[in-house]
Structure 1
């Protein structure tokens, strides 16, 4: 007779496997991580692992799905808040992003170069693909609200949501490339501010939003941990 596992216990153990898998991905890369690494880390049998995931690919897909759900949980309250205007909702989204990076500063500093290594190219691409599918669904209702409020003039809310999602992803990659490059602090801060100005301006133009209405932070928001990251790179 098969052993019956409570749903809460099942989900807890499944998340435990996902947690250690994510740690291993950051420490050695998805390509180099093996199922045996997970078994050793949790002291579980191969049969126990396969009770939750039938392959390494299934594990990867579960990590991507969980990340998407976590992002949705943070974005949905913003989208549904009846007390926020469309401009406020967009700004709140950007502020949420920078606040998360600030709270996770130490983790980000340690993981940036690892996350962008060749060993994590597959999972990084999976995450990007999932974001490109999911995030426009959160942006579109905000854009439609902005059109109703007459602060956005775009005729293409659905397409604008897709384009802005791509811009946001590209911004993250562009800034990461800059921050990991061996340039002076003053040069990186100047370029970061210029990049942010350009990207926010592009988003405002796509939406037909008032100039300067969406930019809610500049390079100073990253100053502390950018300086620390550059110090870490120079010491390697």
Structure 2
């Protein structure tokens, strides 16, 4: 539950105050967008002084990073049952984890989409990389574990599972320009070549992951029809028929 309203202007323990600031940032970023939100807006909503804010966060970028970390931790909690299911083989486990992470992203998109749109704006590639690294640090160990299990069971052919996961998660950076172009297209009220190109890139990423793991092409489900429309929050009825 969001604690922003009930906790404001109260003396809170450091961790609770930090969480409250992230709550406020999440609300403001979602409603106003990241670029339009100021640190002053967050301070006012949380009822903290300038010193109180900077005790916890060095910048607005650090706030967005903390929000990304929170979401990654929440996503990790949703895949925990898959990780712990003793009846799943490593391939099925990995495929279900990827699907659950896609579901999590699409479910969160309406609430936090505006918060993260900024990382795909021109000149913000360093912010994108900062967010990507924060998420990778949280998610990578779980996926590495699954791949290591697959190597042990000869399901995957990977000499170094940890490095393999780092490469897989870094593939998202290869789609940066395509995502930016699709967002520009969306903001013009269009749905066309940029979105189609993004789908093609995502499909190629899936093939690259299969090959990294020593699997036949298109073994894993990396992207599904309609997923990008949901992530980009295109109007209902325009979902891809791919």
| Correspondence for 1:21 | 25
How far does the alpha carbon of each residue in 1:98-124 deviate from its partner, in whole angstroms, 9 at most, with x for none?
A: 212332342355445334236866653
Aligned partners of 2:93, 2:18: CA distance in 1, in Å?
34
Aligned partners of 2:66, 2:229: CA distance in 1, in Å?
34
Aligned partners of 2:225, 2:157: CA distance in 1, in Å?
29
| Correspondence for 1:228 | 235
| Correspondence for 1:158 | 162
Cα offset for 1:206? 0.4
Aligned partners of 2:60, 2:183: CA distance in 1, in Å?
30
1:81 to 75, 82, 85: 85
Q: What SS is found at the alignment partner of 2:88?
A: coil
| Correspondence for 2:8 | none
> Any conservation in 2 of the 1:53–1:59 contact (CA below 8 Å)?
no
1:135–1:193: structure 2 CA closer, same or farther, 3 Å change rule? same
Cα offset for 1:45? 4.2
> Any conservation in 1 of the 2:43–2:50 contact (CA below 8 Å)?
yes
TM-score by length of 2: 0.70
| Correspondence for 1:134 | 138
Moved more, 71-80 or 157-166: 71-80
Aligned partners of 1:220, 1:151: CA distance in 2, in Å?
29
Number of residue pairs aligned between Structure 1 and Structure 2: 222
Aligned pairs for 1:189-208 (under 5 A) are 190-208=196-214
When the two chains are superposed, the root-mean-square deviation of aligned CA atoms in Å is 3.7
For the pair shown, the structure with the greater C-alpha radius of gyration is 1
User: Given the alignment of the two structures, is residue 33 of structure 1 paired with residue 38 of structure 2, yes or no?
Assistant: yes
Higher relative contact order (CA 8 A, sep 6+): 1
User: Given the alignment of the two structures, is residue 53 of structure 1 paired with residue 40 of structure 2, yes or no?
Assistant: no
> Any conservation in 2 of the 1:89–1:142 contact (CA below 8 Å)?
yes
TM-score by length of 1: 0.72
Aligned partners of 2:180, 2:62: CA distance in 1, in Å?
28
The structure that is helix-richer by fraction is 1
Moved more, 114-123 or 101-110: 114-123
1:174–1:211: structure 2 CA closer, same or farther, 3 Å change rule? same
> Any conservation in 2 of the 1:152–1:208 contact (CA below 8 Å)?
yes
Aligned partners of 2:217, 2:86: CA distance in 1, in Å?
24
Q: What SS is found at the alignment partner of 1:180?
A: helix
Aligned partners of 1:65, 1:165: CA distance in 2, in Å?
15
| Correspondence for 1:209 | 215
Cα offset for 1:19? 1.3
Aligned pairs for 1:90-109 (under 5 A) are 90-107=94-111
List structure 1 segments (4+ residues) > 6 angstroms apart after TM superposition: none
Moved more, 80-89 or 196-205: 80-89
